[in-house]
């Protein structure tokens, strides 16, 4: 079938949403489908059109930026042409343009499926409150117009004011997770490059340096962890400089982080490609996801870590707590509570044998091919109703 995937940001932009969309698109192509990704040209240096791993990517020029979003005046015109040319439309939310695309799917009689990744909660300024209201309205219009909605877990759906409105057309599907296999030499080289043999245990965090990720909770927890493990270090993988909308957050945290950097307890790795991430995870003793609000709905990095035998310590957010609860590979900590985070991390570091999990079951549950089959069954069901 011909599948049109629509989202605001696509690769090379890095976020859980874009990684999910890329893995899904690749898996559709491997199973013989024709996939077009319609997205924005958020970086003018990116080509307007290209083929990436068999996926056709069409980028719409951006006229202006609004908070973390963009304005692309020709988005609707291009969407009209593409919706008409495809069999099914898959939209990734949150996305400002989603209702317009879903309406076009209705007009052309094409099933529209929303994949709802998380809520959008911007920092509290008067302007951002207005943006949140607009995006909430757009998401609700998209939910009303769409034929079906997919989310990661029933736990997140049950606790989401948005998703609870559409319980009659909602299906939980676990996210696709895969990473290239690493080699022992690559893992050892990564350890040498970052002096891991000198600083143990290693606490990993893989995220953008953004307010909702709860980096300050980990900073507050470190003194308690260092009291028991004075040589512990944090490896932070992900974008930490010039993150859109997070400069004030960066400025607030960096004096404390620089102190830990100087002492050898914190290392920024920057944005790692999939091969580098494959060498990153085996070097960890624990991965933490101390996120603070519902902009985090699952934490794909937890599954990436677990597939490498690394236990996790997430916060107790709906959805985010589910990987550890489902696979018994870690401890859930209280949201925003540094003492709880420290104690949970120490529990895992002290008793790693308790949190091994069934790696075969985890690999099977999140295999992109298995996930895509669930989407295919949903698409076919909706096309049959049409």
> What's the pLDDT band for 236 if we cut at 50, 70, 90?
very high
pLDDT band at 333 (very low <50, low <70, confident <90, very high): very high
**Would you say residue 259 has pLDDT above 90?**
yes
Show the DSSP H helices in the chain as ranges: 16-30, 75-85, 98-108, 126-145, 154-158, 184-193, 215-228, 247-262, 274-280, 300-307, 322-327, 338-350, 359-365, 368-385
Strands 55-61 vs 2-6: parallel, antiparallel or unpaired: unpaired
Q: Which residues contact 380 (CB under 8 A, 6 or more apart)?
A: none
pLDDT-derived band of residue 122, with 50, 70 and 90 as boundaries? low
Distance (Å) of CA 372 to CA 4, 20, 312: 14, 11, 26
Looking at residue 142, its pLDDT comes to 93
d(CA 16, CA 118): 10
Above 90 in pLDDT, residue 131? no
17-39 pLDDT per residue, tens: 899 999 999 999 999 999 999 99
HSE (CB half, 13 Å, CA atoms) of 57? 24
Do 86 and 3 form a contact (C-beta atoms < 8 A)? Answer: yes
Distance CA 136, CA 253 (A): 30
Mean pLDDT of 335-351: 98
pLDDT of residue 94: 83
What is the per-residue pLDDT for 128? 62
Token code pair at residue 290: 């101390």
**pLDDT greater than 80 at residue 367:** yes
Give the three-class secondary structure for 280.
helix
Longest dimension (CA), the chain: 63
Domains of the chain with bracketed CATH: 2-176+367-385 (3.40.50.2000), 184-364 (3.40.50.2000)
Q: What is the pLDDT of residue 16?
A: 81
Statement: residue 264 has pLDDT above 70? yes
Label residue 244 by pLDDT band (50, 70, 90).
Answer: confident
Q: State residue 95's pLDDT score.
A: 86
pTM of the model: 0.85
Q: Above 60 in pLDDT, residue 270?
A: yes
Phi–psi pair at 119, nearest 5 degrees:
-75, 155
Question: How much is the average pLDDT of 154-169?
Answer: 93
Q: Please list the helix, strand and coil fractions of the chain in percent, rounded to the nearest 5, in that order.
A: 45, 20, 35
């Amino acid at each position: 079938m011909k599948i049109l995937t629509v989202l605001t940001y696509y690769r090379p932009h890095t976020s859980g949403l874009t990684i999910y969309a890329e893995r899904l698109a690749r898996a559709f192509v491997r199973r013989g489908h024709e996939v077009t990704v319609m997205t924005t040209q958020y970086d003018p240096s990116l080509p307007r059109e290209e083929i990436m791993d068999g996926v056709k990517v069409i980028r719409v020029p951006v006229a202006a930026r609004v908070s973390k979003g963009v304005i692309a005046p020709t988005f609707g015109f291009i969407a009209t042409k593409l919706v008409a040319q495809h069999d099914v439309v898959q939209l990734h939310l949150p996305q400002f343009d989603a209702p317009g695309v879903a309406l076009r799917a209705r007009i052309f009689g094409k099933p529209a499926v929303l994949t709802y990744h998380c809520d959008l909660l911007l920092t509290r300024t008067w302007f951002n409150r207005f943006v949140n209201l607009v995006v909430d309205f757009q998401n609700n219009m998209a939910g009303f117009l769409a034929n079906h909605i997919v989310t990661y877990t029933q736990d997140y759906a049950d606790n989401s004011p948005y998703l609870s409105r559409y319980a009659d057309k909602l299906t939980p599907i676990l996210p696709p997770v895969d990473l290239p296999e690493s080699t022992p030499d690559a893992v050892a080289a990564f350890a040498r490059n970052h002096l891991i043999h000198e600083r143990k245990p290693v606490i990993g965090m893989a995220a953008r340096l953004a307010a909702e990720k709860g980096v300050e909770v980990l900073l507050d927890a470190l003194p308690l962890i260092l009291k028991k493990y004075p040589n512990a270090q944090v490896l932070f993988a992900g974008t930490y400089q010039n993150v859109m909308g997070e400069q004030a957050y960066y400025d607030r945290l960096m004096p404390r982080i620089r102190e830990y950097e100087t002492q050898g307890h914190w290392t920024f790795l920057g944005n790692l490609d999939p091969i580098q991430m494959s060498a990153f995870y085996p070097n960890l003793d624990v991965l933490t996801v101390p996120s603070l609000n519902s902009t985090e709905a699952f934490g794909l990095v937890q599954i990436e870590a677990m597939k490498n035998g690394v236990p996790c310590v997430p916060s107790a957010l709906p959805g985010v707590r589910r990987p550890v609860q489902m696979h018994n590979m870690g401890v859930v900590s209280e949201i925003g509570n540094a003492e709880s985070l420290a104690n949970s991390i120490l529990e895992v570091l002290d008793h790693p044998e308790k949190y091994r999990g069934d790696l075969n079951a985890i690999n099977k549950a999140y295999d992109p091919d298995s996930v895509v089959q669930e989407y295919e069954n949903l698409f076919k069901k909706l096309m049959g109703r049409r």
